[in-house]
């Protein structure tokens, strides 16, 4: 795709993300998140409470949760979110698909 883009110009695909935004909403249950997104920004966007004490970015948090550098297609659940690696190289994760998990409804007594 990169070589072709040099010849004919930009080609959009499902993994392209707006360069100015860290989080792109596709639907209520589908988001693309850059791995360099600060955890603080992720928490603010999703009204989440992921810890930013050990890591500054979502990519760092996700990589640590795996315990190794994950490959494209691998996924993991952290808190109330499912993270799937969309793009990674041999040094770091670049892009994630995030799915907020449904919060279980407590039965009333």
Share of the chain above pLDDT 70, in %: 79
* Residue of 92, 18, 100 whose CA lies nearest to 57: 92
Position 108 in a domain: no
CA neighbor of 50 nearest in space, from 96, 105, 90, 107: 96
Range of the domain at 92: 15-100
Number of domains composing the chain: 1
CATH of the domain at 83: 3.30.465.10
pTM of the model: 0.76
Residue 104 has pLDDT above 90, yes or no: no
Question: pLDDT of 45-94, one tens digit each?
Answer: 999 999 999 999 999 999 999 999 999 999 999 999 999 999 999 999 99
- Mean pLDDT over each residue of the chain, to the nearest integer: 86
Pairwise pLDDT comparison (103 vs 37), residue with the higher score: 37
Domain membership flag for residue 10: no
Of 13, 12, 35, 10, nearest to 22 (Cα)?
35
């Amino acid at each position: 795709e990169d070589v072709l883009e040099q010849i004919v110009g930009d080609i959009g695909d499902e993994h392209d993300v707006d360069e100015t935004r860290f989080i792109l909403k596709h639907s209520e249950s589908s988001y693309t998140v850059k791995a360099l997104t600060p955890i603080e920004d992720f928490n603010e966007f999703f009204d989440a409470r992921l810890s930013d004490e050990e890591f500054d970015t979502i990519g760092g948090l996700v990589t640590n949760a795996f315990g190794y550098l994950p490959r494209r297609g691998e996924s993991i659940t952290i808190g109330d979110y499912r993270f799937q690696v969309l793009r990674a190289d041999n040094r770091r994760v670049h892009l994630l698909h995030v799915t907020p998990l449904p919060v279980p409804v407590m039965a009333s007594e």
